[in-house]
Amino acid sequence: MLCSQMFFPTLREVPSEADVVSHQWLLRAGFIRKTTSGVYTYLPLGYRVIKKITEIVRQEMDRAGGQEVMMPIVQPAELWQQSGRWDVYGDEMWRLRDRHDRAYCLGPTHEEIITTLVNADVHSYRDLPLLLYQIQNKYRDEIRPRFGLMRGREFIMKDLYSFDVDHAGLQISYEKMRQAYNRIYQRLQLSYRMVEADSGAIGGSASHEFMVLAETGESEIVYCDACDYAANVEKAVCSPAAGAEPEECGEMITISTPGLRTINDLAEHMQIAAQEQVKTLFYTSDGELVAAVVRGDRELNEIKLKNALNCNELLMADEAVVRERCGAGFGSLGPVGLDVPLYVDLEVPQMAAISCGCNRDDFHYSRVKYGRDFTATAVLDLRSAEAGDPCPHCQGHLLKMRGIEVGHIFQLGLKYSVALDATYLDKDGQQKPFVMGCYGIGVSRTMAAAVEQNNDADGIIWPMPIAPYHAIIVPVNANKAEQWEAAWRIYQQLQELGVEVLLDDRDQRAGVKFKDADLIGIPLRITIGPKSLQEKQVELKKRWEGETHLIAIDQVAAEVVAIIEQASQVKMG
RNA sequence: CGGGAUGUAGCGCAGCUUGGUAGCGCGUCUGGUUCGGGACCAGAAGGCCGCAGGUUCGAAUCCUGUCAUCCCGACCA
């Protein structure tokens, strides 16, 4: 491709709407343009990257036995009403009506369609397992689209759905996908981690997320410094240190704490360390008031609480409601003498002497003991994991980092097949519901994640397997015949060797061409300049290293091919 | 939906307090000189000042409404 003919509108300045690096670079380098909030157009370079990513995904899905289908984006409401998700999905579902006023949505995911499809045409255990996948646009009317491609309202997603006869079959399909996902992210050359995850609204049992490691990631993950345990903090198990029985302490006492409302207030003014306090948080669980208690220096994990309560909606309680039930406002509340279902974190019963609110404004209790002064509806793991916590699987300790969720695999089980009455006949002629799994990869988000992880002050540094082009040839001055002829010859050679190559034939100064080459992140740059050309040499620069090497002009094509081959290798392990 | 901010040329911004029909840098076009890391000179094109009302002789500027975009939060395959 000749640069003079290529549509890649690069920008010198950062558009003001972008403030994460991937968004900035993708806009500046001319890979994407915003069409409306959360909806983007992929320009030629951007679309080439998308195609590279989807091709890797496609190959690995096919290798694992998947078959690609194309499903509709416009989906009828009835299908979603049958599964019960038309109402559950809420405002995030992008709904529309046709001229007859019939309701539809733009598919946020395709469980309903695929399950209905498979049910219509798969009737026997002999046809299972079946793995079907799609790579398409999906739609979620996000409350707040942000970070460019990272959280859009229209996005490209690969979803594979597995149908098995039983749970053992699902385990096999799930394992195939897990391996396929590892291969995919290795081939994409992204630094990633597979973590245990909460399955959230999708439902089902086991679930893993694939996180591209990046400071700007929206997800927090913990991982063990000794074994391979890793989990989303939403999911990470907190096992309390196996401590001795808590020591005895004297009778509970009441202390006056005028104006002291927060954990920090008590720590500062009363010299009560945060880990000697508890915080009592009030929620309404499907309309009913509940309280949760964690140690003063811990964070309550709302997802764990929500899972424990098995409720649909969990909201922070209104202060007026709490005051009416408990007799005090936020800042003076505690678990003693409460007439509210009480969920207590595992650590709390281990505490020697607890300080907490007294359910009376401006007073606190001290020397409170669990079991003696209050008891819980349930004692369970409720807090969020933190760096330094003991690993739940070994003697190691947890470390924390951030990640971008680029893949998520779920064991759905019977959820959708039962809801949609999707069954097959087993060996004994019995009707059985399909046992399902679903496996997603955010393709457009993966492109953003790759940039997030591979850039420098000059622009993007594409990993070879997903670079829009492998190499770019830059004649310093294309008006000089000998430079142009050398450039053209190398260009022809590389094309014949199957290299995806750009030739910057624009009538621009060298600096402009270098800046653009760096900005769009082409891995290899071949520079043809007057001095080296006299020695029958050209310069070769690897974008990811920055140094240039002189190389004989008739060897450069072979060298470029060798480098591409080497840089495209899957880094296994 | 709550909080904050911004809409002025393709991009980045000034002008608004103190009303007088719009300016800078980059980019674009023409000509010339240049030519190894975003050149220089000369000229030019390009704006319904987000939209709709209102105040006023007169509104980018003041008032009201509305729409859009971005940030923080709640939310999240």
How many angstroms is C1' of B23 away from CA of A15? 21
Q: List strands edge to edge, sheet with A501-503.
A: A501-503, A471-475, A524-528, A537-542, A548-552
Q: Do A213 and A262 belong together in one domain?
A: no
Q: Does residue A433 sit within a domain?
A: yes
Q: Which residues contact A177 (CB under 8 A, 6 or more apart)?
A: A64, A160, A162, A409, A437, A439
How many angstroms is C1' of B77 away from CA of A222? 21
Q: Do A275 and A146 belong together in one domain?
A: no
CATH number at residue A321: 3.90.960.10
CATH number at residue A512: 3.40.50.800
At A34, phi and psi to the nearest 5? -80, 135
Segment holding A401, helix H or strand E: strand A398-413
d(CA A262, CA A235): 27
How many angstroms is C1' of B17 away from CA of A15? 28
Contacting residues 509-528/A vs strand B (CB within 7 A): 509-512, 514-516, 518-519, 527-528
How many angstroms is C1' of B53 away from CA of A38? 31
Nucleotides on strand B with an atom closer than 7 A to protein CB? 1, 11-13, 25-27, 34-39, 68-77
Burial of A288 (0-12, 13-18, 19+ CB in 10 A): exposed
pLDDT in tens for each of the 573 residues of chain A? 999 999 999 999 998 888 889 999 999 999 999 888 899 999 999 999 999 999 999 999 999 999 999 999 999 999 999 988 888 787 889 998 888 989 999 999 999 999 999 999 999 999 999 999 999 999 999 888 888 899 899 999 999 999 999 999 999 999 999 999 999 999 999 999 999 988 765 556 789 999 999 888 888 899 999 999 999 988 888 877 766 566 778 888 999 888 887 888 888 888 888 888 998 988 888 878 889 999 988 888 888 888 888 877 777 787 778 888 888 888 888 999 888 899 999 999 889 889 999 898 888 999 999 989 999 999 999 988 888 899 989 999 999 999 999 999 999 999 899 999 999 999 999 999 999 999 999 999 999 999 999 999 999 999 999 999 999 999 999 899 999 999 999 999 999 999 999 999 999 999 999 999 999 999 999 999 999 999 999 999 999 998 999 999 999 999 999 999 999 987 544
Q: Does residue A572 sit within a domain?
A: no
What DSSP string runs through A305-361? Answer: HHHHHT-S-EEEPPHHHHHHHHSS-TTS--STT--S-EEEETTGGG-SSEEEE-SST
Q: Do A145 and A8 belong together in one domain?
A: yes
Pairing of strands A192-196, A154-164: unpaired
Contacting residues 182-201/A vs strand B (CB within 7 A): 200-201
Q: Do A47 and A126 belong together in one domain?
A: yes
How many angstroms is C1' of B77 away from CA of A125? 29
Which residue, counting CA atoms, is nearest to the C1' of nucleotide B35? A509
How many angstroms is C1' of B66 away from CA of A37? 19
End position of a domain, from candidates A380, A410, A432? A380
Kindly provide the b/e burial profile for residues A442-457, where b requires at least 16 CB atoms within 10 angstroms of the residue's own CB. bbbbbbbbbbbbbbee
How many angstroms is C1' of B16 away from CA of A18? 26
Does the nearest atom of strand B lie within 7 Å of A75's Cβ?
no
Q: What pLDDT score was predicted for residue A308?
A: 85
- Let me know: does A151 contact A145? Beta carbons within 8 Å: yes
Contacting residues 354-413/A vs strand B (CB within 7 A): 405-408
Q: Does residue A390 sit within a domain?
A: no
d(CA A92, CA A269): 46
Nucleotide nearest to A539 (CA to C1'): B36
Q: What pLDDT score was predicted for residue A202?
A: 58
Q: Do A313 and A216 belong together in one domain?
A: no
Does the nearest atom of strand B lie within 7 Å of A461's Cβ?
no
Q: Do A160 and A26 belong together in one domain?
A: yes
- Let me know: does A340 contact A326? Beta carbons within 8 Å: yes
Q: Enter the DSSP assignment of A150.
A: G
How many angstroms is C1' of B71 away from CA of A19? 9
Q: Do A210 and A128 belong together in one domain?
A: yes
Chain centroid to CA A179: 18
- Let me know: does A135 contact A57? Beta carbons within 8 Å: yes
Q: Does residue A277 sit within a domain?
A: yes
Q: Do A347 and A424 belong together in one domain?
A: no
Domain of residue A523, residue span = 469-567
Q: Do A143 and A39 belong together in one domain?
A: yes
* Number of domain units in chain A: 3
Nucleotide nearest to A517 (CA to C1'): B37
Does the nearest atom of strand B lie within 7 Å of A298's Cβ?
no
How many angstroms is C1' of B21 away from CA of A16? 29
- Beta carbons within 10 angstroms of residue A188's beta carbon: 22
- Residues paired with residue A292 on neighbouring β-strands, in sequence order: A281, A343
Does the nearest atom of strand B lie within 7 Å of A464's Cβ?
no
Q: Does residue A221 sit within a domain?
A: yes
The pair of structure tokens assigned to A109 is 């995911």
How many angstroms is C1' of B69 away from CA of A36? 9
Q: What pLDDT score was predicted for residue A573?
A: 41
Q: Do A33 and A171 belong together in one domain?
A: yes
CATH number at residue A233: 3.30.930.10
Q: Does residue A96 sit within a domain?
A: yes
Q: Do A8 and A151 belong together in one domain?
A: yes
Q: Does residue A196 sit within a domain?
A: yes
Q: Do A37 and A144 belong together in one domain?
A: yes
Q: What pLDDT score was predicted for residue A128?
A: 97
Q: Does residue A67 sit within a domain?
A: yes
Please state, in angstroms and as integers, the Cα–Cα distance from residue A10 to each residue in A24, A49, A418, A444, following that order: 11, 16, 52, 20
